[in-house]
Structures are given as C-alpha cells and as structure tokens.
Structure 1
Amino acid sequence: NPLMMERAMLCALEIQRMEGCNASVITGNVKLASNGLEGIYRHSRENGVLYFKLKEPPRIEQDGDRLNIIFTDPVMYEEIVLKPDILVLEEELRPREEDEEIARLLGIDVGPGGFLQEDNIHNLPVRSNRVGIYVVGSLRGPLGLRDGWTDVGNVVLEVRNLLGKGKRVLPKNKVKIHRGKCTTCLTCFRLCPHGAIYWDNRAVISPLACEGCGICASECPMDAIQILDYHDDQIKAEILNGKQRLQLDDATPWIVAFCCQNSAYEAGQTAISFNMPVPRGLQMVEVPCAGKIDIDYIMSSFEYGADGVLVLACHKDNCKSIKGNIYAELRVDNTRNMLDEIGLGRERVEFKTIASNMPVEFVQTVHRFETRIKDLGPTPRSFLF
C-alpha cells in the first residue's frame, strides 16, 4: 500500500540519518502510486537506505538472542544474511470496529478488509453502491491525509452532478410494480444492489436511487416488476423476430447473444462498425445489465428455435450494478442443469465476460461458440414452440 510504503520510507530515512545506524527495507514491489513518493524513495536511497525487492518472503531464524533474516538477492543471486539490532514489521491499517455497523445502517457494501467501499471500478473514487452516499479518505481504504482531501473535492463534484440546480429529470415510469401480481415476498427488497427499494406497507422503488439494472425484475417470482424499454414482452418479441430478420437458412445456426449494454453490446457494435467478421446467425439482444437476463429468456430462445444462447456480462468487479454478472452466471448454471434434464444439453448455453473495449475478444468468443453449435447440430424440432 502506498501509504504504508511512505511511512516505512520516512522512518528508514530518519534512522539512516542517526549516527552509526543503517536502515534496510525488505519488500515486494515498492508502491509509489501517490504524489511525492518517487521523490522520497530516491532521496532515501541517495542517503544510504537499502531496498531489497524480493519475490519470495525471507527466512527468519533465531540466532541466540538475535534474529537473522536470510534471502537470495534478486540482483546478485547470492544468499544474504542480515543481522539487525531491531526488526520492524509492516504496519496494517484496519477499519474501525464501528464501521461494520455504519455499513449495515446505511445499506452499503464493504470492500476488502472491511473498509466502506466495495472493490468495484465504478465506485472510484468516492462512490458507494448507493446513490448519494459517498466514502472518503481512510474510511474507504488505507489512505493518507493528502488523498483524503482529494476525496473531499471529488465528493463536492459528485454532489454537484447529483443535485445540479436542485432538480433531477428522470424517465417517467422507469420501473413499474404490478400491485395485483406482487405478493410482498420482498425478494426485490433483499436483492437490490443499490438499496433503491424500501418498505412502506409494500415494496416501493425510489426512482432517484434506482439504476434500472433489472435484477429485481428478473428475480421477482411473479414477474410483477417491469423495466422501462426492457419489458419481458419486448425482449421476448425481439428474440422471436430475430431469425426472420436475419433471414437464415437451415444450415446456419441461430445464436442469441444477450449482451450487457455497458460491456459486451458496445464491444459487439464496435466489432460490426470495424467490419470484423461475426457469425451470420448471431443476434445480439441488448439488456441494461446482465442481471436482467432471466432464465425464461434463455429457455424461450430455444422454444423459438435458437440453436445456442450466449450470455455476455461484465468482468468481475466491473459491473455497474455490483452483482449483475454474478446473478447472470448463476442463472446460466441453473439453465444448463435444466437443459440436461430435458435432453437438450448444457453445451448450448455459454457464459462469458467481455469488456466494452474488447471487440476482438467478442468476435473470437462468438466464433468459438458457433463452431461448437455447428458440431452439436440444430435444436431438435421436438423442443420448438
């Protein structure tokens, strides 16, 4: 961690300046990814501090009332034995004990080590999984005061973007709950990654907090929740009309690829715009998040005649809805088991992660899948709707 590295270098430099003292720092990579650390590192070396950057931890052996540190120097490839008068272990910054309760009260996800920011690239620098709740400084990780003040500035910008001139314009009916179908099971309340659903004698979705990912809609056992522009009927109609639009012959496999609009769909569109060769029978179905991909969509694709289904999501820790890719992969696993049970075969469904800047990998993925489907042959007519 850069903060720990800074403290270690400053302490080593202070020791080196003492008469009759020499300081050595044994580390892995020297983390200098913060303002001023490169200068401190260079200055400490010029004053005689030795740095040993090891790939493997050293051995520590007892030698009477002293400790010997034994390791192989990565430059000279010779065994070195240090016999220090004082051995200091690296500090470890941990979150406060009360942070766990704060996270529970605010409904925010914690990250590695229990800090109050989940490890997701879309949270950087100061966002949490909930709109309007921000995490700064050492609350979100081992950060120093300098980085903390930078976070304060970032929060000011985030709040300004959130509030604008005091009003936010939102799509009308962004999410709708069918009260006649809702059985108040609270599945949506428990699963919403953004804390956008609250209880007021019934499940209520806050349009200000909702990100429109569709996880709640896909997990609702009664299909009582629908997302604007991504209604179940709309998506199924798009699938049903796909083969006709593609005008495929019987020899060309029809592959339905459900693509997250933030990653795989952009990669696919980039591939097409650069005239990269994609399978003729590929139909891309855009979804707001892979978490919106329902098992029913996959099974309906086969009922309508699809020969294979791809589910393409964001990479781990890169999903804007935090867990959308995780839910999608779980549903694919469940679908595979169902396909095995009915005799269609699990090989006809595939889950992959693709980033928006990976058009080449997108093309490679769909071509590999097409080759597999060609080997399997068309979907048996007995399974068609």
Structure 2
Amino acid sequence: MKLGEYDKTVLVIGGGPTAWEMSRSLAQDGIPVMVAAPDDAERADMPSGVEWILGAQVTDVIGQVGDFAVWLKAGGKRFERRAGAIILALDANRQPGVLPAGAAFGERIRAMTEAEDVLFGRQGHPSLRRVIVLDRLDGLSTAASHERLLRFAVRVQEECNATVYVLTSQVKVASIGLEILYGRLRDGGGLVVKPDAVQVETGDDAVRIRFRDTVLDEDVVLEADMLVAAEDEAPSPELERLAGVLRIERDKQGFLQADNVLRRPCLTNRRGVLSVGSSAAPSTQWDTEQGVTAATVEIRELYRWIEEEDHPDTILYNRDFCAFCLTCFRVCPHGAIHFTDRPNFLPLACQRCGLCAAACPGEALELVGYEKETFFKTLSSLKPLDVEGSKRIVAIACTKSAGRVLNAAPADAEIRKGLAWVEVQCAGTIRTTSLLRLLARPGLVDGVLVLACHNGNCRSGTGTVVAKNLVESVKVLLKAIGADPGRIGYISTAANDEVELARQITAFRDGLR
C-alpha cells in the first residue's frame, strides 16, 4: 500500500468528555476526525477538522487499518463512510454499590450521581452538617471509583461546609493526584474508617451506621444527614454490541483491554482499532489523559508505518486444499481475514501469529517464512548425541519470550544442554502434525517442548492458550496409542525468566525415560 492510497480520517465513537478530548487531540495534531455521537451530545469547543455525525450508530465494519469500510445508521438511514482508524471513547456507566441488608435508597440514602444533583444542582446546597460516604467493603473498588469518591467528599466539605465520614476497606490512590485529594479530605476534617461490615438505620431526621471498630475493639455509631453510596465504573452498555461488530476482545468485566498488559494503554486485538478512557478499563482522569496522548501517537505511527514500510502478503493460500469451512476466519484474533468467495488475508491487519495456518484442517494456509518444509529444514542437521545417556530435546519457542532467553544464553549454559530449538512468531502457530513428526524420531528426538509466553503476555492474545491445549491433546493421543505422553511438554515463560525456564527444562529432561 503506497502513500495516498489510504484514508487518514479517524472515526471516534462516543458522546462524552473522553470522546471530546480524543477528538480535540487528533484535530490539533492535524489528523481529520469524524465523531459518531448520540443525538443529545453537546459539542465542545473543537478546532476545525472535526466532523460530527449525531445520532449515529456503527452497524458494521470490514477492512484493515488505513482502509476501514464503516456502515452507520442515523436518522433512519444506513450509509457507508471510510476511515483509516477507529477509536472507541465511550464513558463509563456508573452503578451504585450494594447497600447493606435492610437499607434502601430514599431521601436519606442516595447513590452518588443523585447526591451530586441534590447537593450541587441549581437549587443550591441543602443545609447539611454530616455526610457519610459508603464505599464497597470487599476491597474491589478501583482507583477510578476512588478518584470520584474523593472528589465528591472534598466538594461536600468545601461547598457544603459539612463533615464527611468515608467508610471503605482501603483508600486507593494509585494514580496521579489522588494522594493530594486524600490529603485535602483529611486536612478538611474528613474521617476515613475501615469497617468489616455495617448496619444502617434510617430515621426521619438522620441516618445512622453501626459497625465494630477492629482497631479500638468497640462498637461505633455514626449519625449523618445523608448517606451516599459510592458507585462503581462499569462498561458502557454499548461496548458489548460494538465489540461484536468490531470483533474486539473484552475482559471479564466487559472492558476492551482484555486483561493483556501488552495492549495498555490504548491498543486492542485489532490493529487500527483503539480504545481510550473507560472503554479500555476503569480510568482516572490521569489514565484517560495518558490514553488519549498514547492513542494520538499510535495513530501517527500507524500512518507512518503504512507509508514507509513494505507490506507483502503474510499468508500463502492454496485454494485446492481449502474447504471454505471458515475456520481461519473464526480463529483469527486480529480481524485480518475477510471472506468473499474465498478467504482474503489483509496484510496490514495481520500480525503474523499463524493461528489461522495452524487451525486449517486442510493445511491450505502457510505463514510466510514458517512453511512446513522450512520449519523442518532447520532441524535437518540434527545428529544423535555422543554422550551416552544424554537426552535430546527439541523445543518450539516463541521468538518473543523463550527464543530471546535461549539466544542470549551462553553455548555451555545448562539451559542449552542437549537442546535444539526452532523459533516461531507465536506458539499458537504450531500444528499437531508438526509435533507428531518430531515425536516420530525416537532415535534422534527424546522429548519435545513447546515454549510459549505467559497467559496475558501473548501478543496474539490466544496463542498461549491454543498451544497449551494442543500439547494436552497430543498427550491424550500418545496415551491412546500406547506411547509415552511424557515425551512432550509445555512451559510458559517470559524473556527475563531464564532461571525458571532452565529449571523447568531440566525437570522435563530428567523425567524422560
């Protein structure tokens, strides 16, 4: 793909502060922006270069970075637009925590969003002497929810001249500026208490909380004019639908970072589809600012990469072997395959994990540079070990983790004793037939190891899991035919984990018969 053949417009999806900050950052960097926002979205003071599509809903997306075809629905009409990249910037959905048994929301007990409207709305501040802010007590609050809790508590102190009690299991200040907020709360007379459990009593004139102070070892009763339940940050309800449309992985809570540390602060499993702020994970103001900055830099670097680098085909396709079963389309973690009358492999979207080639039942696909014969050619020079009783192990190692450890180790290091290895882009690219061909050489190969990244560190997201499951299935097969399943093993590792990797390889070698 050459300069001028791709679209530089970035589609930002969202209708709140995060979307505005993201759009402003891109526009100020000279990148054209279009924003798909709800009908009721209020446009902030934006520089030129931002196109607004109000009431738009993204219904379908195909293509790759630099060339996304996006179908939107607005005003009862469906239409297509082109975009070079897509950024999800939806703000969080706030949910009040669970109240203690017997307590119910009402005039004296309010969720934080409602309390903000009552205390800081147009009607002015009601007369309050004391306010209790009740956080969840199971320790699962986030820095993002505590930022909002602390801002609310300080504002009640400073604008309502009320004493604030905060009940929480732990004050979380692991983000820029939160320790300052906590200090303002304490300096203003705020009291932070850490009870294990509480009982709530509501009267006509006050709300009371009873709990056992484990430090003082005595019962405590706090009385206030209002109890405010802190709120958790949950994903926007729209994220689930958009993740399906865009084929984006989500974590257990429903955010788009998918618990993969390599994608922070703004990447997803698809190149050119980014997430920022509370679309990615529960985010403080500082987290969001960092995500916006990182996303702007990432877009700029992606476009430079498109313009300056060569992008040859990454997958070799043999139509004669293809059963059109859609297996490759289903397993691709990067949205890099588009089906017409055949699978089309998008070179700018492909991240060379090889999962499609490994999963193809007809072996119609090959990852360029890792074809079957190329793979085994690297092992063609293997000869039996001279030392009697020595065990030869062949390892298939992910180049991003174990490959780096093995290449950095001295030739006489224990970790390389009797070890030959082949590096692959991802451990998930290994085929069952490749492992069986290695195991079928008992005079030359005593054991086979698959060395993958730790789960959560895999750049393809699923390659580690696929590799582990593959090894387990081969073990079952070996046992079924009466062969020794102990001849094959699986180890997850990292590029800085030489000592532990050496220990596990040695243990595997010692266990070979």
Q: State the TM-score bracket (shorter-chain normalisation).
A: 0.7 to 0.9
Report the TM-score when normalising by structure 1.
0.87
Measure how far apart 1:240 and its partner are: 4.5
Unaligned runs of 5+ in 1: 378-385
Alignment pair present for 1:256 and 2:402? no
Which of 163, 184, 207 matches 2:324?
A: 184
Report if the CA contact (8 A) 1:236-1:300 is conserved: no
Which moved further from structure 2: 263-272 or 177-186? 263-272
SS of 2:415's equivalent in the other structure is coil
Measure how far apart 1:288 and its partner are: 0.7
Between structures 1 and 2, the one with greater strand share: 2
- Superposed, 1:48-197 pairs within 5 Å as 48-53=189-194, 58-61=196-199, 68-73=209-214, 76=215, 78-85=217-224, 86-164=226-304, 167-170=307-310, 172-197=312-337
Which moved further from structure 2: 259-268 or 39-48? 39-48
- Distance of 1:231 and 1:327 partners within structure 2: 19
CA deviation vs aligned residue, 1:23-78 (integer Å, no higher than 9, x gap): 23233343222221111112222222223457xxx2223568565442453xx363
SS of 1:259's equivalent in the other structure is strand
Percent sequence identity over matched residues?
Answer: 31
Which of 258, 268, 281 matches 2:418?
A: 281
Residues 1:355 and 1:79: Cα distance change in structure 2 (over 3 Å): farther
Unaligned runs of 5+ in 2: 1-141
- Distance of 2:305 and 2:480 partners within structure 1: 56
1:383 maps to: none
1:24 maps to: 165
Measure how far apart 1:103 and its partner are: 1.4
The code of the aligned residue for 1:269 comes to: N
Between structures 1 and 2, the one with greater helix share: 1
- Distance of 1:64 and 1:24 partners within structure 2: 17
- Distance of 1:232 and 1:197 partners within structure 2: 21
1:381 maps to: none
2:407 maps to: 269
Report the TM-score when normalising by structure 2.
0.66
- Distance of 2:405 and 2:216 partners within structure 1: 46
- Distance of 1:23 and 1:157 partners within structure 2: 42
Which moved further from structure 2: 338-347 or 85-94? 85-94
Residues 1:29 and 1:350: Cα distance change in structure 2 (over 3 Å): farther
Residues 1:23 and 1:198: Cα distance change in structure 2 (over 3 Å): same
- Distance of 2:194 and 2:404 partners within structure 1: 41
The code of the aligned residue for 2:191 comes to: L
Measure how far apart 1:322 and its partner are: 0.6
Measure how far apart 1:96 and its partner are: 2.2
Which of 485, 495, 506 matches 1:367?
A: 506
The code of the aligned residue for 1:304 comes to: R
Report if the CA contact (8 A) 1:59-1:70 is conserved: yes
2:182 maps to: 41
- Distance of 1:276 and 1:337 partners within structure 2: 33
Which of 330, 348, 352 matches 1:208?
A: 348
- Distance of 2:293 and 2:374 partners within structure 1: 43
- Distance of 2:163 and 2:156 partners within structure 1: 7
Report if the CA contact (8 A) 2:144-2:233 is conserved: no
- Distance of 1:52 and 1:368 partners within structure 2: 50
2:455 maps to: 316
Which moved further from structure 2: 218-227 or 1-10? 1-10
- Distance of 1:61 and 1:316 partners within structure 2: 42
The code of the aligned residue for 2:408 comes to: T
- Distance of 1:222 and 1:77 partners within structure 2: 70
1:4 maps to: 145
* Count of aligned pairs between the two proteins: 366
Report if the CA contact (8 A) 1:264-1:314 is conserved: yes
1:345 maps to: 484
Report if the CA contact (8 A) 1:170-1:207 is conserved: no
Residues 1:193 and 1:20: Cα distance change in structure 2 (over 3 Å): closer
- Distance of 2:202 and 2:246 partners within structure 1: 53
Alignment pair present for 1:304 and 2:444? no
SS of 1:195's equivalent in the other structure is coil
CA deviation vs aligned residue, 1:84-131 (integer Å, no higher than 9, x gap): 434333202222222222111112112232223322112111111111
Residues 1:271 and 1:300: Cα distance change in structure 2 (over 3 Å): same
- Distance of 1:207 and 1:304 partners within structure 2: 36
The code of the aligned residue for 1:5 comes to: H
CA RMSD of aligned residues (A): 2.4
Which of 200, 207, 229 matches 2:369?
A: 229
The code of the aligned residue for 1:61 comes to: Q
CA deviation vs aligned residue, 1:278-313 (integer Å, no higher than 9, x gap): 252112221110101222222111112222221111
Residues 1:127 and 1:18: Cα distance change in structure 2 (over 3 Å): closer
SS of 1:216's equivalent in the other structure is helix
- Distance of 2:305 and 2:348 partners within structure 1: 15
